[in-house]
């Protein structure tokens, strides 16, 4: 199998597997006061310190979660509720139109309940947010802003620092979903000026089911689930010592190799782009050309007339794993909300292909995709009469 879906989930690293097995073999609830409990707590706190160090945060700012989705929900709902409780006038919640559904659907849910006035900031044809529109939307009645660090479908890196500067002038905290960014970009929470940042382990070679919300101390977060109040009274639940240890191990490795991997992936991406443009007539590559403003491992294309589900099934039959980059619910591929926000029609937004590379991707994988893709697109277009 040629695996080109690293943006969905990355292969588990040996270091993460070893850390998980070692920690999982130990007994003790990290909240217990006896010796096994204290030993488990030590594993958690060591992992918390390592995660903080890798991401430019203080250990007390690291709230461990079950993954990026929980972290995003805690940030969006918890921050909005916390801010609006302190100031009932602060009802305006601002997000970009291309956020991951963990942010976008959480914000829309708040609006559907009447809890928030939602404003979705538009993007340009490359997926970059409109900073003028953000500036117009901001005022003292805004509760929070959520702008992703890098888009999970097209790879566009957002001007997060500029967004923070605009929001700070109005005293509005900013959250960023950095789930796709941390494996490839230099993410420094302290330097960013952000109030909160979501990350996940399985995008960089850690296990599925563990992530974190980095949240400034004193940030008014209302919990989205209630229980023992284990982490700052905002995230209850027994701490996953093995998951935290594996996350820290994977993150350590990802940060250590990040610069070299970025250069290597850029080379593979250029070969994939050249081949795609030559082999697939009518395909339009999405996102930015500037290497400093996009993720190095994502190639996203709109291929009119070739519906995503057909292309993906045909590639899969040829031993190639890829994705559409669009939302999948119960195995049903839907038109990409990101492509639509970038100006594509609903019909074309259902004809997207995302090829995402990572640390295990080789030149052979790229050549295999380029060999299989023209035939898959031709057959997909024939099925629709395009």
Catalytic residue chosen out of the listed positions 321, 328, 371, 386: 328
Q: Could you tell me where the beta strands, DSSP code E, fall in 220-295?
A: 284-285
Separation of alpha carbons 76 and 267, rounded Å = 37
Query: Which residues pair with residue 321 across a beta bridge?
Result: 3
Q: Are the C-beta atoms of 145 and 172 separated by less than 8 Å?
A: yes
Structure tokens at 168: 């700070």
Separation of alpha carbons 72 and 74, rounded Å = 5
Separation of alpha carbons 236 and 376, rounded Å = 47
Nearest Cα to Cα of residue 274 among 244, 299, 241: 299
Tell me if residue 1 falls in helix, strand or coil.
coil
Separation of alpha carbons 339 and 153, rounded Å = 9
Separation of alpha carbons 139 and 170, rounded Å = 6
Is 328 an active-site residue?
A: yes
Separation of alpha carbons 42 and 223, rounded Å = 25
| Residues involved in catalysis | 328
């Amino acid at each position: 199998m040629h695996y080109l879906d690293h943006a969905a989930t990355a292969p588990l690293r040996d270091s993460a597997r070893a850390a998980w097995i070692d920690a999982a073999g130990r007994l003790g609830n990290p909240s217990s006061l006896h010796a096994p409990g204290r030993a488990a707590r030590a594993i958690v706190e060591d992992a918390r310190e390592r995660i903080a160090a890798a991401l430019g945060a203080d250990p007390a700012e690291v709230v461990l979660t079950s993954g990026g989705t929980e972290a995003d929900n805690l940030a969006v709902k918890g921050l909005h509720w916390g801010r609006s409780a302190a100031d009932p006038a602060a009802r305006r919640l601002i997000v970009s139109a291309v956020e991951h559904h963990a942010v976008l659907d959480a914000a829309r849910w708040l609006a559907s309940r009447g809890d928030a006035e939602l404003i979705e900031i538009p993007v340009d044809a490359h997926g970059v947010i409109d900073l003028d529109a953000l500036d117009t939307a901001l005022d003292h009645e805004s509760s929070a802003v959520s702008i992703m660090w890098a888009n999970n479908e097209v790879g566009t890196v957002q001007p997060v620092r500029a967004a923070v500067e605009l929001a700070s002038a109005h005293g509005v905290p900013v959250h960023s979903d950095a789930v796709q960014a941390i494996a490839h970009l230099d993410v420094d929470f302290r330097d960013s000026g952000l109030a909160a940042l979501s990350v996940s382990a399985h995008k960089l070679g850690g296990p599925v089911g563990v992530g974190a919300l980095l949240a400034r101390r004193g940030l008014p977060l209302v919990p989205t689930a209630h229980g023992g109040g284990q982490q700052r009274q905002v995230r209850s639940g027994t701490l996953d010592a093995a998951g935290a240890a594996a996350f820290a191990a994977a993150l350590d490795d990802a940060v250590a190799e990040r610069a070299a991997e970025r250069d290597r992936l850029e080379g593979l991406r250029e070969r994939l782009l050249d081949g795609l443009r030559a082999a697939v007539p009518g395909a339009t590559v999405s996102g930015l050309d500037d290497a400093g403003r996009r993720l190095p491992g994502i190639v996203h294309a709109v291929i009119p007339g070739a519906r995503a589900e057909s292309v993906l099934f045909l590639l899969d039959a040829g031993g190639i794993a890829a994705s559409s980059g669009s939302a999948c619910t119960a195995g049903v591929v839907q038109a990409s909300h990101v492509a639509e926000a970038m100006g594509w029609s609903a019909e074309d937004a259902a004809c997207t292909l995302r090829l995402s590379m990572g640390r295990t991707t080789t030149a052979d994988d790229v050549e295999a995709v380029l060999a299989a893709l023209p035939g898959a697109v031709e057959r997909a277009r024939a099925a629709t009469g395009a």
